[in-house]
Chains A and B, each alone.
Chain A
C-alpha cells in the first residue's frame, strides 16, 4: 500500500494521530503537498462521504474522519500555501437569520471541506446581506443556506432576493437545506440547489466549480 492510500485508509477509520504522522512522513519523503491532499486526505473523505450517503457510515464516523483530516491539514496547510495550491472553490455557508441551529450546517461544512472546497462559515442567525457581502468579497460561486424552522424558512427567499438586488444572482448558485426544506420549496423561492443530505450537498457544491 502506498503511503497516500494509507493516509486515506487511516482517515476513513478516524485515526487522527496516525493521519498526522503519515502526512508528516509523506512530506518528509518529498511527496508534493497537492498529492497528499488530493490522493490522501480528500480521497479518504470522498469515500466517507459516499458511505454516509449510502447509510454505511453515520455522523460519528464522519466526525472522527473530519477530525483526522483537520489534523493532517494543520501540517499540510503552510505547504499548500507555499506551493500556491488553491481550494477548488469557495462557498459561503450559514444558518439564516433567526435560526440558531448549526448541527446540519456543520456537517455540510465538513463534507464540503472534504471535497476540497474552502468554506466561509458565517455561523448561525446570519442576515441575508451577510451572505451576499461575503460572497462578493470572497468571490464565492456558491451560497449555502441552512434552516431548521418553518418560521425562518422565509429568510432563504430573502437571500435569493438580496442576491438579485446586489446584481450577483447570475454569478452564484444558491443552495438551500435543512429539515423542513424540500425541492418544491427550493423551486418556489427561486433557489438553485436542494439536496436531502450533507454529502450530496457537498457534491453539488463542488460541481458548481467544475468547468
Chain B
C-alpha cells in the first residue's frame, strides 16, 4: 500500500506519473504500475446503479471518491466513461442504449448498436467531401432530433452569391427544432463537462494523474464502427476493397486532427485508441496489412509527432498482429491487450513498446482471489522483467467481485516491486 498519508497530493501525483512514464519509455520503474480502465465497476462498488451513475452526478462523485480512496490506481479515470446520456436522449441518439433507456435495466451496461449509417453506394460521397457527409448524412441518421442537418450539404454551395440557396434551410421549422434540440443537449453536455473538469482537478489534488487526454479511433474502425457496421465493412473488403482503402485514406488525417484537438482541449497527453475491427478473426494478416495497419500507423506517428502518447487499447484477440505492431517508434506507445498470449507479446514487442492488460474480466467476475493472484503473478513473471508492463484488466471492467479487484491491486503492489 502506498503510504499516502505521508505524501502530499503533488508528490503522489508526480510519483505515479513518473512510474507510468518510466514504464512507457521502457525504463525500470519503482514498481509495476496499475492502470485498469474501470467502467461499471466504480458505480457497482460504490453501491449505486449504473443508471444512477449516469444521471446523478452527486451520486456518481460519491462512488468515484470511494473507489479512488480504496484502490489508488496509478492512472485514474474521471467519470468520462459515464457518458452524458441526458444529452444523448435530448438528441435521440440512435446507436446507443444505456441503463434505464429503451428497455435496458438499471444495471445493464450501455451498449453501442451498429447501424448502417452509410450505405454501400455512398462511398464516393464520403470520399468526395467527408465533412459534408458526416454533417448532412451521418448526424441526422445518428440523432433522431437533429434531422435538420440533412440540409447542411448545401453549405458547400455558399461561395459568392450561393448563400441565397444555402442559407434557406435555416428558415424551416425542422431546422429550428433541430437547433432547439442541439442547444438543449449542448447545455446538458456542458454541465457534464463541468463535472468532468471539476472531478479531474479533484483527482489531481488527491495525487492521481488522469488517465486520458483524448480518445481516437483507427481510421478503419471509424469507417467500420460508425459508418458501415462490422458485417458490412467485412463484406466490403471482398466486394469493394478499393473504396474501403480510399475512404480509410480520407479519414486518416481527420482521425489525427481530432485526437490532437481533443488532447489540446484537456491539456493531457495520453490518447486512447480503442481498437476494434482488426482482431484475429475479422481479417487475414494480408488484409490487416493492407486495410488496417497503414492508416493506424499514420495515426500513431501523427500523435507521437504532436508530442502525445498513443495508448492502444486492443479489444479481442490480436495474437497474429503482434509482429506487425512492432513497427512503431521505441518507447512511445502502450499496447493494451485483452486476449493475447502475453508471454509472446512480451517477446515480440518488449523491446519497442510497453504492454498492459490481459487480467481476464471473467476471473475478476467469477473467479477466486487465488486465481486472480496466480494470473497477476504469471503476468509479472513473464512480462514485467526490467519494466515495460502495466497491470490492467483485459477489458473495461463492469461487475466483478471487489475482493478480486482488491487482490489484483494488492498483489501487484507487493509482488510487482522492483526496488
Contacts and interface: CB of A to CB of B under 8 A. Distances in A.
B84 interface: no
B40 interface: yes
Interface in B250-304: 280-284, 287
Nearest to B97: A100
A58 B282 contact: yes
A87 interface: no
Contact of B231 (A55, A101, A103, A197): A103
A152 B108 contact: yes
B88 to A, nearest CB: 15
A64 interface: yes
B103 to A, nearest CB: 7
A89 interface: no
A63 interface: yes
A182 interface: yes
B235 A150 contact: no
Contacts of A58: 280-284, 287
B142 interface: no
Interface in B196-237: 230-231, 234-235, 237
Contact of A63 (B113, B238, B320, B367): B238
A61 B281 CA distance: 10
Interface of A: 14, 55, 57-61, 63-64, 67, 98-101, 103, 106, 125, 149-153, 179-182, 184-185, 188, 197
A102 B362 CA distance: 20
A98 B97 CA distance: 10
Contacts of A99: 108, 111
B103 A151 contact: no
B105 interface: yes
| Interface range, B side | 35 or more
Interface string B362-393: 10011100000000000000000000000000
A64 B316 contact: no
B260 to A, nearest CB: 31
Contacts of A151: 40, 50, 107-109, 398-399
B340 to A, nearest CB: 14
B316 A188 contact: no
Contact of A60 (B111, B113, B237): B237
Contacts of B97: 100
A59 B282 contact: yes
A69 to B, nearest CB: 15
Contacts of A184: 362, 366-367
Given A98-B108, A149-B108, A188 B282 contact: no
A150 B400 contact: yes
A180 B231 contact: no
7 contacts: A58-B284, A103-B230, A150-B362, A150-B400, A181-B362, A182-B362, A184-B362
Interface in B340-364: 360-362
A55 B284 CA distance: 8
Main secondary structure on chain B at its contact with chain A?
Answer: mixed
Contacts of A63: 231, 234-235, 238
Contact of A150 (B50, B105, B284, B398): B398
B283 A60 contact: yes
Contacts of B107: 151
B324 interface: no
A60 B367 CA distance: 35
Contacts of A149: 108-109, 111, 398
Given A55-B320, A153-B365, A106 B231 contact: yes
B185 to A, nearest CB: 23
Interface string B110-140: 0101100000000000000000000000000
A189 B237 CA distance: 39
A100 B398 contact: no
B104 interface: yes
A182 B111 CA distance: 22
Interface string B23-57: 00000000000000000100000000010000000
Given A55-B280, A98-B108, A180 B365 contact: yes
B366 A185 contact: yes
B399 A150 contact: yes
Nearest to A64: B238
A104 B283 CA distance: 15
- Give the one of A57, A63, A188 with max B CB within 10 A: A63
Contacts of B105: 98
Contacts of A55: 280, 320
Contacts of B238: 14, 60-61, 63-64
Contacts of B287: 58, 60
B297 to A, nearest CB: 21
Nearest to B283: A58
Q: Pick from A14, A55, A57, A151 the residue with the most CB of B within 10 Å.
A: A151
Contacts of B108: 98-99, 149, 151-152
Given A59-B282, A64-B235, 18 more contacts: A57-B284, A58-B283, A58-B287, A59-B283, A100-B97, A101-B111, A103-B230, A106-B231, A149-B111, A149-B398, A150-B365, A151-B40, A151-B107, A151-B399, A153-B365, A179-B339, A184-B362, A188-B366
